Amino acid sequence: MAHSPSNILPGPSADRPVLSRKRTRCDSLENTGRPEKHNKAMVQSFRRDDTYYFEDGSCVLLVEDALFNVHRTVLCKDSSSFRAMFSLPPGERPVEGSSDDNPIILTGDTASDFRHFLWTLYALPSELSVVTSPAADLDQLVAIARIANKYAFKSTEIWILDAIEKYVDRKPSPIIPTSAYGVPFTHLATISPAYNPRIENAEQLTRLIRLAQMCNHERLLNTMIQLLRSLMVGSVQYAYLAMTLADELGLRALRGVAYLEVMQKAVIVRSPPVDVIHKASTNTQPSLTPDDGSGSSTLVNPSGVEDKRRISLTSQQQLRLLAGYYRLTETWEELRRTPPHFDHAVSCDATWHQHGCTQSWLEFWKEKARGDVLLGLGLADVIGRLKQISKDYDRWGSATYMHHDCRQAARRSINEVIKRVEDALPDYFSDADIAD
C-alpha cells in the first residue's frame, strides 16, 4: 500500500550514487569496504522499514540502519543506475540485495529521504497529485529530486523539478517571508543568516539554486535567480548571498547585478582617517580589522559599534568589487564626454539642418550629464545615471531643434547603451586582466 511521506528535512548527500555490488568480474563496481558478511550483531541492529519492506520484494537495500525490500522491476524503471547494475553478470559470490544479511548498501542518503523517493515509485495516481498542489511539502520534493538525480531516474527528476518550480513561482512566493520584501539595507546589521531572522530563508534559497544547477533545470534556475534579484534590491544581505552563489556556481545572469548591489550598498574599503570638512578630526571613521588568515576582512568602527553596512568579503571578492568600480567610473567618464551615437533619419538630412539637430543633442547631453540629480548618484552608477538621463529626455518634450525621427533614434540609443552595460556587468566585476 502506498503512503504519503512524512515531514522531513533533507540530509547531506553525495554527488554520485554508491551502489555496492561485489562482482568479481567487474572492477567498476567495487565493494564499499564493508566486511564480506555482516556479523549477527550488525544485522540485528538493522530495522525493516514499516512501509517499504515488502514480503514479495526482490531487492534488499540498506540506507543508514533501515532495510528496504522492494522490487527490481520498479528500481529498473526510467533507465536508472539500478538497471545498469542489475544487468551485470552474477559472478561467483552471493548476489547483493538477496537477503537482509547481504543488502545493497546505499551511502550518502538518509532513510527518510529514500523513503520519500520510494513513495513516488509506489504511490497511486490520486496520491501523486499532492506533488503539484499548494499542499506539497517543499522539503520532501527537494529530497525526491536529489535522489532521482543521483540514481538517474530522469523522468521522475524532471517531473519533481517542474513541480518545485511551480511551487516557488506562486505569487506571493511561499518560500519568501513577507518581511523580506522592501527591507532597507540600512536596517540590516549583519550578513550572516544565522544571526538575522530577515534572511532565515537563505538556506532554502541556496539549496534550491544548487539543486537547479546540479540538475540543469533551466526553468527552476531562472525562477530562483529572479527571486533573488527582486530580494537583493531591498537587502544587501540577499545581494551578498546572490554574489556568493554566483561565484560558486558560475551564474553569469546573477553575478553582475549581485556585485553591483553589493558595491552600491555595502562598505567595501575603509575611509581614510582624515576629516576633510572640519579642522579638528575626532577620527570616527571606520577601520579595517586585521586579517585573521581566512582571506576575509570586516569593517567596524573604532568605538566597537558595528557599521550597519559592514560586510565580510574575501580578498578576491573585494578585488572584483574594486575593479568593477574602476571600470564603471571609466565607462561613465567616456559617456560623459561623448553621448551615444545615433544615425540621423533620412528625412532629417533632406528637410532639416542636420548640424543643428546634432548640436541640440550634444547640448542636451552636456547639460544633463553634469546636472545636480546625476551628481547625487554614485560615480560608478552608470546604469542609474543613464536611466535618469532617459527620464530627462522624455521630459524634454518638443522644446528641441531635433528632427522628430532623430529624437526617437536618440532615445533608442540611450536605451541600447543601458542594455549593453547591463549585459556586460559580469565582465565589469571580473578579476581577469587586472595588472599584478
Q: Does residue 414 or residue 399 have the better pLDDT?
A: 414
Provide the b/e sequence for 85-111 (b: ≥16 CB within 10 Å).
bbeeeeeeeebbbeeeebbbbbbbbbb
pLDDT of residue 193: 39
Judged by phi (left if over 0) then psi (alpha if -120 to 50, else beta), residue 93 lies in: beta
Q: Which of 242-246, 330-334, 350-354 has the lowest mean pLDDT?
A: 350-354
CA distance 214 to 200: 23
Longest dimension (CA), the chain: 100
Q: Which of 5, 35, 3, 41 is nearest to 20 (CA)?
A: 35
Grid cell at residue 276: 576633510
Q: Structure pTM? A: 0.75
User: Does the structure show a pLDDT above 60 at 431?
Assistant: yes
Asked whether 210 and 249 are in contact (CB, 8 A), the reply is yes
| Residue 291 bridge partners (DSSP) | none
pLDDT-based confidence at residue 432 (cuts at 50, 70, 90): confident
CA distance 286 to 295: 19
pLDDT-based confidence at residue 308 (cuts at 50, 70, 90): low
pLDDT-based confidence at residue 349 (cuts at 50, 70, 90): confident
pLDDT of residue 347: 80
pLDDT of residue 168: 94
Asked whether 429 and 313 are in contact (CB, 8 A), the reply is no
Mean pLDDT of the chain: 80
Average of per-residue pLDDT across 268-277 = 74
- Displacement of CA 317 from its chain's centroid (Å): 16
CA distance 18 to 109: 10
pLDDT-based confidence at residue 273 (cuts at 50, 70, 90): confident
CA distance 357 to 319: 43
Could you read off the pLDDT of 52-79 as tens digits, one per residue? 999 999 999 999 999 999 999 999 988 8
User: Does the structure show a pLDDT above 70 at 374?
Assistant: yes
Could you read off the pLDDT of 16-32 as tens digits, one per residue? 444 444 433 333 333 33
Q: 353-357 long-range CB contacts below 8 Å, 24 or more apart?
A: 356/401, 357/401, 357/402, 357/403, 357/406
Average of per-residue pLDDT across 398-418 = 85
Q: Does residue 295 or residue 140 have the better pLDDT?
A: 140
Task: Say whether 292 sits in a helix, a strand or coil.
Answer: coil
Distances from the Cα of 77 to the Cα of 71, 95, 153, angstroms? 11, 20, 7
Q: Where in the chain is the domain with CATH 3.30.710.10?
A: 40-127
What CATH class is the domain 40-127? Answer: alpha beta
User: Does the structure show a pLDDT above 70 at 283?
Assistant: no
The strand pair at 47-53 and 66-70 is best described as parallel
Q: Which of 103-117, 244-258, 356-370 has the lowest mean pLDDT?
A: 356-370
- Name every residue whose Cβ is closer than 8 Å to that of residue 45 and which is 6 or more positions away in sequence: 65
Average of per-residue pLDDT across 397-413 = 80
pLDDT of residue 287: 46
pLDDT of residue 48: 95
pLDDT-based confidence at residue 434 (cuts at 50, 70, 90): low
pLDDT of residue 295: 43
pLDDT-based confidence at residue 280 (cuts at 50, 70, 90): low
